[in-house]
Structure formats: structure tokens, C-alpha cells
A and B are shown apart, each in its own frame.
Chain A
Amino acid sequence: MADIGGAQETGKKGGKKRRARRGVVRVDMTPMVDLMCLLITFFMLTTAFSKPKIMEIVLPEKIKKDKEKEEAPKIAKSRTLNIILGPENKVLWYTGAVDDPKNPPPLQVTDFSPTGIRALLLERNRALFRKIEQFNNDIISGKIKMPLDSIEPAISRLKKEDDTGPIVLIKAYKSSNYGNFVDILDEMSIVGIARYAIVDISWIEEQMVEKTLGISSTGSTP
């Protein structure tokens, strides 16, 4: 492993050593390199470099049944957009509300692609989306100067002031999955929807989904 370089045999074997050999001690570093390689590989595989990210959601407080009858807040029908998460990554939507259970509004089927639900939301929320984009551009170009930590409150103020965008009610059909749920919340933040809520699906809407997608209802047939 380690050898002494520069000390060539001189052929004077058995001769008396007059002085100590002045060679350089050379240590073979190859095994150490091997070891280092293994350690690096181990640490690269076991460590996580990026921390997982979080998405914050705030759900409205539940209306307690035992408390005095509190009415659910009323919202304008014309601005309401109902989004129902369907099975197999499908998204269904309709506007307004179900007035007549016997004659429900038709459901439109779309998906999570950029031309699907996002295009729809963007179209409805264009005014607010433009405003937020304009604001962001102004910040980047330096037209508006403000400390970093007040940018987010300013955007949420913009959202609060908005009164043209849709009010989105997110409902989930029973065979939708968690990924869809996060996706739709993500779309809300991508498009900058100011008002959205997660609402329980009603049986009428479940039936509408089943009728539209042609799923046989698991419950009793009417």
C-alpha cells in the first residue's frame, strides 16, 4: 500500500547505512477514495434536499347543529360556479343552483388540462387575474415599491375588493380522489379566484353526475 518513492535500490546490499533514507512516503489513497464514494452515495440517497411544500387552506367554520339555527351565508346565484370533482380525473361544472330537482341544469364535463377547467376559470375571473398580474408586474418592474412582506396582504386586498369574479363551490363526488381535490385548490390559486368554498355534495348533484357520466347509481333506483 504505502511505499517509499525515490529510494531506488543501489545494489549495496548489506552495506552499512550511513544516513537514513530520505524518501517521500507515498500512501495509496485509492481505498480512501472508494470509501468516500460510498459515503457520498449513501448520504445523497438518504437525505432530502428540498423540504416539502405546503398549501394553506382555511375552511369555513362548521355550523353546529346544536347551536341556534344559523343560516348558511347566502350567495348570488348568477356568480356561482359549481365544480364537481368526478371519477377518473374528470371535472364537472354548472352555473347557478339547482332550482328544480326534476329538471336540473346540464353538467359540463371537462378535465384538469390547461385548456379544461383552468381556461374556464380564467375566462370568468379575467378582470381580477389581470389586476393581480398587473400588480405583480408593477412590483417586478419597480413601479410600485413596497416591502416584501406586504405584497401578499396587498394581493389579498385586491381579491377582497373584487366583485366580478365567480364564487366557486367545490364539491366532490364520492369516487374522486385527494389528488383531484388538491389540483382544484391549486387551480384556484393559479387563477387567483377570490372566493371559493368546499361544500358537501347534495344527492341531486350526485344523481346529476351519475346521469351525465352514465354511472349506475349504487343507491336505490327511484
Chain B
Amino acid sequence: MPKIKLPTKQPFIDMTPMVDLFSILLIFFLLTGTFRAQEPAPVDTPFSISEKPTPDFNNMTIVFSSDNRVFFNVDNGSDTLLKYRPKILECVGERFNIQFTPEELRKFEKYNTSIGVPIEKMKEFLNAEDPSVREALQTGIPYDSLNNQLEVWVLCTRQINPAVVASLKGDANTEFPTVRRILDILQDKNVNRFNLVTSLRAVKVEDTEN
């Protein structure tokens, strides 16, 4: 019986179009997406129907997580020409008699996520090389009446950039007294307009026929 001769050469699939496709996808994702900044604490924002996007600049964000830690972030978008961040840290440091070296200020400027470090620990935080050490120092900014550092941060930010608008980004499970306390601190500094950061949720309002 004659054997059927199988072709010895294996089929060759041309992958070039697939590479083309993937490069196009890759370029698309690179252009449309923005990097998600890593928050020091997990924050599940509550939902609302609001469709207003967050402003890109002149924005200070107070982040609070469900374990009542408070973080602070100044976001001026990609516009770093004005270099608010080091100025703010300098101003806060002055209030607590802490001098920051230019190098520390530069490190603070580069650090682009929220900061939740008591000002006494800030030097240690900025000079730490190990990310896990930094993580451990993020104990939240003190905001009780005896040691109200959050107030100073807000005050300094508004001094340096008067056009700043306060945003609150909080975990939905935070207890209300914490929120009230933060609102009180801001209101004491005459900040009465807030942006609450929320996730979008579509709501259908049912017809209201009697």
C-alpha cells in the first residue's frame, strides 16, 4: 500500500497583519488613556448622576479613606511651569518651623499622588528610598483641633494659588462625622464651594403620572 506522503514543510502563517493591528490598538490606547494615579489608600467613590468632568488644573483634592485617614493632593495638571507644589510644601514647613532643602522640595514636586504624611515625618518620607517605607509613613494628615495640619495645607494652597477649587474624594463608607469635620475645616477657611468626586451612574427618573 502506498503511503500518503505528508508535506514535510510546516505551514507558515504570516503574522505581519496581526502586528499591524496590534500596533494600531496600542497607539489608540496610548493616546486615549490617561495614567491612573496610584492612590495611597483604596477609595471607592460614591455614585451620582453628575456628568461634569474633574477640572484639569487649579484643583486641590482632599482624599479620605474609610479608615478615616486624610490625604491631600494639589493637581495642576500637566502645567508644571508654575511649580506650586514645592512652594506649598515650603509654606507648610515654615508654619511648623521645618526647613526643606531644595532637593527635598524637588522630590516633593515629582511625587504626583496624594500625600498623607504628618509634616514632622515629611523629611523622612521624602528621603526614603524604599516604597514600602513610604507606604508605612502614609498615616494620614492630622486634622483634629489640637494638631490641625490639614487646615495649614488648605491655607497655604490658597495663598499660593488663590484660584484653587477644593475637591473632596472620599470612600462611600467613611463615617459622616469625619466628612463634617473636613467640611468644617474648609468652611473655616471660607471655602464654601466643593466638588465631590463621584462615579457616574445612570438614573432613569420614572414618569410621575399621578
Number of residues in B with C-beta < 8 Å to the partner? Answer: 59
The B interface, classified by DSSP as helix, strand, loop or mixed, is mixed
Contact of A49 with B33 at beta-carbon distance under 8 Å, contacts A54-B53, A54-B195, A126-B208 already known: yes
Among B29, B36, B50, B170, the residue within 8 A (CB) of A53 is B50
Asked if residues B45 and A52 are in contact (CB atoms below 8 Å), the reply is yes
State the CA gap A55–B187 with chains docked (Å): 18
Q: Can you list, as one digit per residue, whether each of A41-80 has a CB less than 8 Å from chain B (1) or not (0)? A: 0011011111111111111111000000000000000000
The chain A residue sitting closest to B16, CB to CB, is: A29
Q: Which of A145-190 contact B (CB under 8 A)?
A: 172-183, 185-186, 189-190
Let me know if B176 and A40 touch, CB within 8 A: no
Does B179 contact A181, Cβ atoms closer than 8 Å? Answer: yes
Interface bracket on A: 35 or more
A5 and B176 in contact, given A48-B34, A54-B167 (Cβ under 8 angstroms)? no
Query: Which chain A residues lie closer than 8 Å to B190 at the CB level?
Result: 61
B47 within 8 Å of A by Cβ? yes
Query: Which residue on chain A has the smallest CB distance to residue B169?
Result: A52
Interface residue? B129 (CB, 8 A): no
Q: 18 interchain pairs (CB within 8 A)?
A: A36-B23, A43-B26, A43-B30, A47-B32, A47-B36, A53-B50, A53-B51, A53-B52, A54-B50, A56-B50, A61-B187, A129-B208, A172-B180, A177-B174, A178-B178, A181-B179, A190-B49, A190-B203
A residues apposed to B, CB below 8 Å: 5, 26, 28-30, 32-33, 36-37, 39-40, 43-44, 46-62, 85, 114, 118, 122, 126, 129-130, 172-183, 185-186, 189-191, 200
What 7 pairs across the A-B complex have the smallest Cβ distances?
A47-B33, A179-B172, A29-B15, A36-B22, A182-B46, A54-B195, A48-B36
Partner-A contacts on B (CB < 8 A) = 12, 14-16, 18-19, 22-23, 25-26, 29-30, 32-36, 45-55, 64, 167, 169-180, 183, 187-188, 190, 192-200, 203, 205-206, 208
Beyond A55-B195, A186-B198, 8 extra complex contacts between A and B, CB < 8 Å: A29-B18, A52-B198, A54-B197, A58-B194, A114-B206, A174-B175, A178-B170, A178-B176
